[in-house]
Amino acid sequence: MAQYTEVTRTSWGSRLGSSIKGIGFGLLIFVLAFPLLFWNESRAVKVARTLDEGQGIVQPTLSTTVDPNLEGKLVHMSGLASTQDVLSDAGFGVSASAIKLRRVVEMYQWKETSRSETKNKTGGSQETTTTYDYERVWSDSPISSSAFKVSAGHENPASMPYTGEDWQAQQVSLGAYDLSDSLVGKISAWQALTLSENDVAGIAQAANIAVEPASDWLYLNYYGSSANPQIGDVRLRYELVPDTTVSIVAQQEGSSFKPYQSKYGSSINMLSPGEKTPAEMFEAAKKANTAMTWGLRVLGFFMMAIGLGMVLAPLVIVADVLPFLGNMLRAGSRFIAGVLAFFFAFITIAIAWLAVRPVLGISLIAIAAAVLIGGMVLSRQRSKRVVPSPASA
């Protein structure tokens, strides 16, 4: 692994100017967090209610015959998803009877990573030591070496001779039914496809280069070998989704399916691998909804905290003239930004819930107010410890 270290110094004036310019961006991030959090709560309620509605009306049925009495109903069934389609990579002549087929391509390239350590100096300037590491890796997308700190000796090809590609069967059956494209797209039981000797020979002929099978990969050794790859070498492999058992919950439409639209504005169009009961599928969907809801809540909180931190940054940099004072103010600003972000996030979530669950919304507002007041009290106590009284001085 190659390595390069650079030491840069930024003046106090430059830091202050950059932080002032960043105030606008910080305010933008802060403001955008409000609609994100509000939309997330609305989305979560719609999905939760839709799942409750669906779980109460879903009708289990068999996939062996089409039941006309279930037309337009939300149904659940399990069975073997199968196809007679033959998928083909025309470029290399590889084909297989499968629900899905994909070509995975990687090229051996240089990759740059960096790590930095910053120290504040008396007078407000900063000294940053950045270490750049260069290693050779297999990557499924081109890595531009023109943006490397040290591009000389770490040049990558401008493009890949071949790229990854996916194919999907047009006709996939579930017993007597045909799966919709949206449901087929949810099937992900990928397996490695073992290439035959004819496949390998066809790839070598199409690529016009000697190839070398090794493990699940087929190496196109432009410059090296599988044991000693060189920059620009390419390897590829194939994966497929064979006939596989699935369970679905969707609205029956003739001998096929479509998403079920609930009265709450959300839809149900679920597919799970293996044989799953309706209860198992709805429980998994509810857990996924909860995970997404909390993930977006955390994202909204951090957007607010980061935005407020950028607004307060000029004050911290002014104090950095004396590093110890800057460190104290930096810790304080982070604390204030965190408390305010928590307060505003809670208020936004509470307002979103007022329309659907007033008691919960009011409770959240009370919690947010308590956190804000507690934070202000704690901040004052910290200030009293830091700033000595005239009598003690």
Confidence of residue 214 (pLDDT cuts 50, 70, 90): confident
What is the reported pLDDT for 297? Answer: 95
What is the reported pLDDT for 234? Answer: 95
Q: Select from 275, 307, 326 the last residue of a domain.
A: 275
**Do residues 90 and 190 share a domain?**
yes
What is the reported pLDDT for 158? Answer: 93
Range of 376's domain? Answer: 11-51+288-386
**Do residues 96 and 235 share a domain?**
yes
282 lies in some domain: no
**Do residues 45 and 78 share a domain?**
no
Euclidean distance between CA atoms 110 and 324, whole angstroms: 41
What is the reported pLDDT for 350? Answer: 82
**Do residues 79 and 200 share a domain?**
yes
What is the reported pLDDT for 379? Answer: 60
Winning range, highest mean pLDDT, from 175-179, 194-198, 206-210:
175-179
Report pLDDT digits (tens) over 279-338: 999 999 999 999 999 999 999 999 999 999 999 999 888 888 887 887 888 888 888 899
Residue 206 has pLDDT above 50, yes or no: yes
Q: What is the DSSP string of 24-54?
A: HHHHHHHHHHHHHHHHHHHHHHHHHHHHHHH
CB environment 200-237: b (16+ within 10 A), e (fewer): bebbbebbeeebbbeeebbbbbbeeebeebebbbbbbb
Total domain count, the chain? 2
**Do residues 198 and 257 share a domain?**
yes
Phi, psi of 379 (to 5 degrees): -65, -40
145 lies in some domain: no
**Do residues 366 and 309 share a domain?**
yes
Euclidean distance between CA atoms 351 and 261, whole angstroms: 26
**Do residues 67 and 174 share a domain?**
yes
Range of lowest pLDDT (63-67, 208-212, 247-251, 378-382): 378-382
171 lies in some domain: yes
2 lies in some domain: no
In whole numbers, what is the pLDDT of the chain averaged over residues?
90
179 lies in some domain: yes
117 lies in some domain: no
90 lies in some domain: yes
125 lies in some domain: no
**Do residues 245 and 378 share a domain?**
no
Confidence of residue 387 (pLDDT cuts 50, 70, 90): very low
Report pLDDT digits (tens) over 100-133: 999 999 999 999 999 999 888 888 888 999 999 9
**Do residues 69 and 188 share a domain?**
yes
Tokens of 128: 């940053």
Residue 160 has pLDDT above 60, yes or no: yes
Tokens of 316: 């911290």
What is the reported pLDDT for 391? Answer: 43
Residue 388 has pLDDT above 90, yes or no: no
pTM: 0.82
Tell me if 304 sits within 8 A of 343, measured CB to CB: no
Give the chain's radius of gyration (CA, Å): 29
Residue 381 has pLDDT above 60, yes or no: yes
Q: Select from 221, 247, 275 the last residue of a domain.
A: 275
Q: What percent of the chain has pLDDT over 70?
A: 91
**Do residues 18 and 78 share a domain?**
no
**Do residues 66 and 183 share a domain?**
yes
Residue 384 has pLDDT above 70, yes or no: no
**Do residues 196 and 270 share a domain?**
yes
CA angle 258, 264, 268 (to 5 degrees): 30
**What average pLDDT does this structure show over 207-225?**
89
Question: Crossing angle, helix 278-319 and helix 12-57, to 10 degrees?
Answer: 170
What is the reported pLDDT for 375? Answer: 61
Residue 76 has pLDDT above 70, yes or no: yes
Q: Select from 244, 275, 306 the last residue of a domain.
A: 275
What is the reported pLDDT for 163? Answer: 94
What is the reported pLDDT for 321? Answer: 83
